[in-house]
Structure 1
Amino acid sequence: MADITDIKAIIYTEKTLGLQEEGVIVVQTTPRMTKNGLKEVFKEYFGIKPLKVNSMRVNGKVKRFKGVEGKRADSKKFYVKLPEDAKIESLAV
């Protein structure tokens, strides 16, 4: 079952701010989140039914710090298309 705690962050970059003007929000989540689960979260917590959801899996990079090798966590990115009249005040920049 998907939950709001599976959402890690809303991504704010030059590209995503341009997409927000078109009504698309980019969300970073845990790898176990699904498209249907994300739709449920948006319906339940924000009261908005997304028009379209695209997903992308992001594998964690292998990094080295002081000779010790480590790996960043895997995640998923979702591009969520919202209806034109929908606004989420907590996500406004």
Structure 2
Amino acid sequence: MRAGLIKMVTIKDFKTIIKPIITEKSSMGSEYNQVTFQVQKTSSKKEIKLAIENIFKVKVKKVNTSIVKGKLKSFRGSLGKRSDYKKAFVTLEDGQTIDINAGV
């Protein structure tokens, strides 16, 4: 991408990022300029970085990912398993912020 070139937000960007994860542990990451998102299991770190930069118009420093295994839960006497999902820890450049609570 050349300097000054504005990249349009695509549908793929919105499909890559499922939702922000708002927990006590993820909110402690804001001290280190980190934001946590649930993303598609098939998304790569480069795809996640481009999606965050296009949607929120911020510069991403790095992306760390992990697969969270679903828990076993019982429902009306039968055992079931929650789905596995991928979690992305996005570190932003200094001076960049994302307001997760903006539309709430």
Same fold, TM exceeding 0.5?
yes
The aligned counterpart of 1:27 is: 37
Shift in Å at residue 28 of structure 1? 1.2
Instruction: Report % sequence identity.
Output: 33
2:29 is the alignment partner of 1:6: no
TM superposition shift of 1:62: 2.3
Residues 14-51 of structure 1 deviation map (CA, whole Å, 9 limit, x = unaligned): 22111112200111122112111101101211122310
The 8 Å contact of residues 28 and 75 in structure 1, kept in 2 or not, is answered as yes
Shift of 1:2: 4.5
Residues paired across the two proteins, number: 92
Q: Over the residues paired in the alignment, what is the CA RMSD in angstroms? A: 2.0
TM-score, length-scaled by structure 1: 0.83
Q: Answer yes or no: is the 8 Å Cα contact 2:68–2:87 preserved in 1.
A: yes
Asked if 1:75 is matched to 2:95, the reply is no
Q: 2:61 pairs with 46, 51, 70, which one? A: 51
Between the aligned partners of 2:42 and 2:71, the Cα distance in structure 1 is 18
Question: TM-score, structure 2 length as denominator?
Answer: 0.75
Tell me the equivalent position of 2:8.
none
For structure 1, the residue ranges without an aligned partner over 5 or more in a row are: none
**Paired residues of 2:33 and 2:93 also in contact (CA < 8 A):** yes
SS of alignment partner, residue 60 of structure 2: coil
Contact 2:16 2:51 in 1 (8 A): no
Deviation, structure 1 residue 8 = 2.4
| Alignment-mate amino acid for residue 3 of structure 1 | D
> Unaligned stretches of 5+ in structure 2?
1-10
